[in-house]
Amino acid sequence: MIDEIRNFLNQFDFEPIIENYESFKNLNKYVICGMGGSHLAGDILKFIFPDIDLIIHKNYGLPEIKDLNERTIICISFSGNTEETVDAFEKARERSLNILVISQNGKILELAKVNNIPYIKIPDDDIPPRLGVGYMLKVLLKIFGFSENFEDIKKEIDVFSIENKAQKLLEEIGSKTIFLYTTEEIFSLAPFWKACFNENSKNFININSFPELCHNEIEIFENENKIKKLKPFVLFLIANDIAHSKNLKRIDIFKKILEEKKIPYESISFKGNQRLSIALKNILFALFLSYYDAISNNIDPVSTDLIERIKKEIKGEP
């Protein structure tokens, strides 16, 4: 896995092709249907294009909204066999909605081919969906008309430096519980961190954002007995050029509170000429940090046994 992470940016060399293009309708309003690692590219896309009309649906069927027929329904399943996404696809097809499928292989890709529905096949790399988010993001960027030079963006990102910083940060964190706090402006990047820690290192991570956490979650730090048991390490993800000035001020005040209570924290500030650059740095940092967290605790960062068990048992398989 470590080699795949180090070479992650090479996924953006992939050139997506829309098959059955003559049937494709880009309606400029979207629903992304996907589960787990397959929908994460949609979360990241919402950060890159904050003004897009995009709903991310993580369930069976379709969202209960009135304008589905005015939207492009993007069904993403990395494997092609995700039960909930296949169900969403079938419901959309029954209603003759505008569908685009994104997948490596599997049932959903076959259904798209048989029914002459537009699809994009992503490379068959033997990697978990969370690590294939680059391929899926490249596809979505194509659909959304992103035309910037990816090579220039890749040159801006020092992968070795990010890996080194992640290793050093992990030494600070140790066995503590990560409380990941962002500002609302970049909170759509946080689910990727959660997925990486949950699946790679099988570890708990709490995510929240400013200013919302100042209206509720901040009070848990008054419960000293509970905090001692949780052993929190607060990690701030900040993009100063994007964050509201009042949110940055809230972070500064909160840091004072943490210092008074002797709770460790660290800040990671992401900068970039474009939001895509900031997003990619975030992705790499989360991948490296969660990978080394797994290795330091002798945990396999690839296997997801409980996820696979539920998938099998829900289908009635032994």
Region of residue 98 (left: phi > 0; alpha: psi -120 to 50; beta: else):
beta
So what's the pLDDT on residue 252? Answer: 97
Q: For the chain, how many residues are written? A: 318
| CB of 300 closer than 8 Å to CB of 294 | yes
Closest among 175, 179, 177 to 230, alpha carbons compared: 177
Map residue 148 onto helix, strand or coil: coil
* Tens digit of each residue's pLDDT, the chain (318 residues): 999 999 999 999 999 999 999 999 999 899 999 999 899 999 999 999 999 999 999 999 999 999 999 999 999 999 999 999 999 999 999 999 999 999 999 999 999 999 999 999 999 999 999 999 999 999 999 998 887 788 888 889 999 999 999 999 999 999 999 999 999 999 999 999 999 999 999 999 999 999 999 999 999 999 999 999 999 999 999 998 899 999 999 999 999 999 999 999 999 998 877 899 999 999 999 999 999 999 999 999 999 999 999 999 988 866
Domains in the chain, ordered, with CATH? 2-147 (3.40.50.10490), 152-296 (3.40.50.10490)
pLDDT of residue 318: 63
Of 307, 312, 310, nearest in space to 38 by CA: 307
Determine the pLDDT at residue 107.
Answer: 96
Identify which of 261, 16, 247 has the alpha carbon closest to the alpha carbon of residue 118: 16
**pLDDT at 315 (0 to 100):** 83
Angle at 314 between CA 89 and CA 38, to 5 degrees: 45
- pLDDT, tens only, 236-274: 999 988 999 999 999 999 999 999 999 999 999 988 778
Question: In the prediction, which pLDDT does 28 show?
Answer: 87
Plot region of 20 (φ>0 → left; ψ -120 to 50 → alpha; else → beta):
left
Report the relative pairing of strands 177-183 and 98-103 from DSSP bridges: unpaired
The pLDDT of residue 152: 87
- pLDDT score at 153: 87
